[in-house]
């Protein structure tokens, strides 16, 4: 009996230690200032953006004529603090306005990455996902202004 106890307790310690290790690492991966897209993805998205979006929203994302800009604080404030899914769905279901519904989910994620990159959100090591569940968990948070 005594022997079993002695073995059991150190094992339990190990299990608890590994559990809390996972919890700490899991949190680090979701830190808000960590990039949520990759530089390559934004590059791909940029090519698609120039072909399919720039005619209305401008190659500098500043809006052409009556069309709204996709940069600057007014645009960002609208989506700040909301799940990434909101902006993703807006693009996926309503854009390009002259051909809505034509973008696949991965294409939408690429173009959204480009828009984030243009708006100075940091790039990271994992691509922006295109599935609803993951996009719901990501929050769009304006990067803190550099002082």
> Which positions touch ligand HEC (CB under 6 A)?
52-53, 55-57, 67-68, 70, 75, 78, 87, 90-91, 94-98, 103, 111
Tell me the residue number closest to ligand HEC, measured at CB: 53
Q: Which is nearer to ligand HEC, 83 or 96 (CB)?
A: 96
| Cα dihedral across residues 67, 72, 78, 80: positive or negative | positive
Q: Counting beta carbons within 10 angstroms of the beta carbon of residue 73, is it exposed (0 to 12), middle (13 to 18) or buried (19 or more)?
A: exposed
Which of 70, 35, 67 is CA-nearest to residue 49?
70
Q: Which is nearer to ligand HEC, 36 or 87 (CB)?
A: 87
Q: Which is nearer to ligand HEC, 99 or 146 (CB)?
A: 99
Minimum gap (Å) between residue 91 Cβ and ligand HEC: 5
- Evaluate whether 85 touches 74 at the Cβ level (below 8 Å): no
Minimum gap (Å) between residue 51 Cβ and ligand HEC: 8
Minimum gap (Å) between residue 74 Cβ and ligand HEC: 7
Q: What are phi and psi of 60, to 5 degrees?
A: -105, 15
Q: Which is nearer to ligand HEC, 18 or 55 (CB)?
A: 55
Minimum gap (Å) between residue 41 Cβ and ligand HEC: 14
Burial per residue of 78-96, b for 16 or more beta-carbon CB atoms within 10 angstroms, e otherwise: ebeeebbbebbeebbeebb
């Amino acid at each position: 009996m005594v022997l079993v106890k002695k073995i059991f307790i150190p094992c339990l310690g190990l299990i608890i230690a590994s559990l809390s290790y996972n919890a700490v690492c899991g949190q680090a991966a979701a830190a808000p200032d960590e990039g949520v897209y990759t530089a390559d993805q934004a590059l791909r998205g940029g090519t698609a953006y120039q072909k399919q979006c720039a005619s209305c929203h401008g190659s500098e994302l500043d809006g052409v004529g009556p069309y709204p800009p996709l940069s600057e604080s007014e645009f960002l404030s609208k989506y700040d603090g909301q799940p990434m899914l909101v902006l993703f769905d807006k693009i996926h279901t309503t854009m390009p306005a002259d051909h809505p519904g034509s973008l696949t989910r991965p294409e939408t994620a690429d173009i959204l990455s480009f828009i984030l990159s243009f708006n100075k959100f940091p790039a990271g090591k994992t691509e922006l996902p295109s599935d609803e569940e993951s996009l719901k968990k990501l929050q769009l948070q304006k990067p803190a202004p550099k002082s």
